[in-house]
Each structure stands twice: as C-alpha cells, then as structure tokens.
C-alpha cells in the first residue's frame, strides 16, 4: 500500500473529486479526515472510507472562515495525532457574469472559496508538518487557470492564484521535507460539472454536453474523479518524493488541441 498508516485531510471531500481522492487514499492504507460544508454527503464519504477498513472522521466546515479552519485542524490532530497529507480540494463557482456587472461580494466569495481556503488550511497545517519535517500538500487548481473554457474571471483568476501559491509555498517549506504540488484538472464529470455547465438541463442533454466537450479534449473524453485521484495518489506517495513546486495538468491533453488528422 502506497499510503499505509498515513493520515490525510481532504477539503471538499464530500462529493466529486474530493470523494474520489478520499476513497482512493483509503484503498492505499490512509485514514481520512473529510472536511466539507455538506454534512450528509460528507458523512456518507466517511462511511465509505470505513467500509474500506480505514478510520474516517467527517468535520463540517466553512473553509473560508479562519476560526472554523483552525478548529478543524486542531480536531484532526487531536483525533489522529498527525496530518501527513493535506489535499486542498474545496472550491466552487458561480454563474458567469461580465466584469463590469460583477458584484464585489461575488468576486470575494469565489476567490475566498478557491484560494483563501487553501491559504487558511496551509497556515494551520504547515507548522505541524514543519515539526515532523515531512508532509505532502496537494492544491487543486484548474485548466481554467491557463485556458479558460468559459468566461468565469473570478474563478479562473483564483485558480491561477493557486498555482502561484503552490510555487511559493513549495520553495518556502522545502527545507523541512515538505512537498507541495498542484493538480490542474481538465473537464471532469461530477455533480459540480452537472450543476454548472449543465444547470437545469435534463440528464440526456447533460450527456450530450459532455460528448460535445469531449471532442475538444485530445484524448477524446472528459475526466472522472478517479483520474484526478490517481494523480493525487502519486503526488501524496513516496513515488513523488523528489517532486515539489510542480503543477500537473490532468486534462486529457489540454491545453493542446486535437489535430484534425491524427496521422499527420
């Protein structure tokens, strides 16, 4: 097992990519602290982790609130005694709007959820990793940071900030044996995708939307939570012990574009 007896804190772990990472890590011997604002789905993920023979703890949290984040980190340390892996996966998006019509509070909300939350969890987890002189931090960005698939300037800007945050933090904590890397997913079919790209569409039209989107991906399909979980597992394991300050695009080949003639 690649993560035997490790402890991971996964933000946004209730559904989608976060659930996929939590379950993949559990299969590899890791105990999981699932952190999310969705208590029902978060408890379900924790129960599924236990079904794989690992310990699990669900903690409800607004990841943009300093006091709640500090309390969550303290609870995880009290329960497990350590945090070996931090996965900053929590994020979200709102309805796209032109910059001149965007309310300031909407900008702040999306930037806080996608970027500030990662700062807050690192703020309270890094000191413990420094003491242990080891740790793995994985930050989730998006292909939108490099190749915005749609106009969503607040989300794309925040995800670009995640990449810069990763680079700076990686250089800062490298002397303590802490690896900090970033994953930039491409299009992934989750509840998040269905709720944003396919809002209010019937299921068959969501399927058609995915099929159209897959035509833009060099590998010819949209991703799954398991695709992202596999990359996260690699970065969290000792297989990636000499990798830090890297942004890994798990995007089916994007931002490359499919060639019209694959034999050319």
| Rounded CA separation 58/76 (Å) | 10
Q: What is the mean pLDDT of residues 120-147?
A: 96
Q: How far is CA 160 from CA 59, 64, 169, 173, in A?
A: 28, 18, 15, 21
- Domain extent at residue 125: 7-188+225-249
Stretch among 2-16, 41-55, 69-83, 88-102 having the lowest mean pLDDT? 88-102
Degrees to nearest 5, angle at CA 88 with 116 and 185: 105
Q: What is the mean pLDDT of residues 212-237?
A: 94
Q: What is the mean pLDDT of residues 201-209?
A: 69
Same structural domain, 123 and 214: no
CATH of the domain at 161: 3.40.50.720
Stretch among 22-36, 143-157, 192-206 having the lowest mean pLDDT? 192-206
pLDDT at 149 over 90: no
Q: What's the pLDDT tens digit per position in 158-173? A: 999 999 999 999 999 9
Q: What is the mean pLDDT of residues 78-100?
A: 93
> Quick one: pLDDT at residue 259?
72
Q: Which of 155, 167, 176, 249 is catalytic?
A: 155
Same structural domain, 165 and 72: yes
Same structural domain, 22 and 47: yes
167 is catalytic: no
| All residues at 6 or more sequence positions from 163 whose CB lies less than 8 Å from its CB, including other chains | 141, 145, 182, 184, 247
> Quick one: pLDDT at residue 48?
98
Q: What is the mean pLDDT of residues 63-70?
A: 98
| All residues at 6 or more sequence positions from 259 whose CB lies less than 8 Å from its CB, including other chains | none
Same structural domain, 132 and 22: yes
pLDDT at 194 over 60: no
pLDDT at 262 over 60: no
> Quick one: pLDDT at residue 209?
78
The domain tally of the chain equals 2
């Amino acid at each position: 097992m690649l993560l035997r007896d490790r402890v991971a804190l996964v933000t946004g772990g209730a559904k989608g990519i976060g659930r996929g990472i939590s379950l993949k890590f559990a299969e590899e011997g890791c105990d999981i602290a699932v952190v999310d604002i969705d208590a029902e789905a978060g408890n379900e993920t924790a129960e599924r982790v236990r079904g794989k023979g690992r310990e699990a703890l669900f903690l409800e949290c607004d990841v943009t609130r300093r006091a709640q984040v500090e309390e969550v980190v303290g609870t995880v340390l009290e329960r497990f005694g350590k945090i070996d892996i931090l996965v900053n996966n929590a994020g979200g998006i709102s309805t796209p709007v032109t910059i001149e019509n965007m309310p300031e509070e909407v900008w702040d909300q999306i930037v806080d959820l996608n970027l500030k939350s990662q700062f807050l969890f690192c703020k309270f987890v890094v000191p413990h990793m420094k003491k242990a002189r080891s740790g793995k931090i994985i930050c989730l960005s998006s292909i939108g940071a490099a190749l915005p698939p749609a106009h969503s300037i607040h989300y794309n800007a925040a995800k670009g900030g995640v990449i810069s945050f990763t680079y700076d933090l990686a250089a800062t904590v490298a002397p303590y044996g802490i690896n900090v890397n970033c994953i930039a997913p491409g299009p992934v079919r989750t509840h998040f995708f269905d709720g944003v790209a396919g809002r209010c569409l019937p299921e068959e039209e969501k399927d058609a939307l995915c099929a159209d989107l897959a035509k833009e991906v060099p590998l010819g399909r949209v991703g799954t939570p398991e695709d992202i979980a596999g990359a996260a597992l690699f970065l969290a394991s000792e297989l990636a012990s000499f990798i830090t300050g890297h942004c890994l695009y798990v995007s089916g080949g994007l931002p490359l574009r499919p060639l019209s003639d694959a034999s050319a």
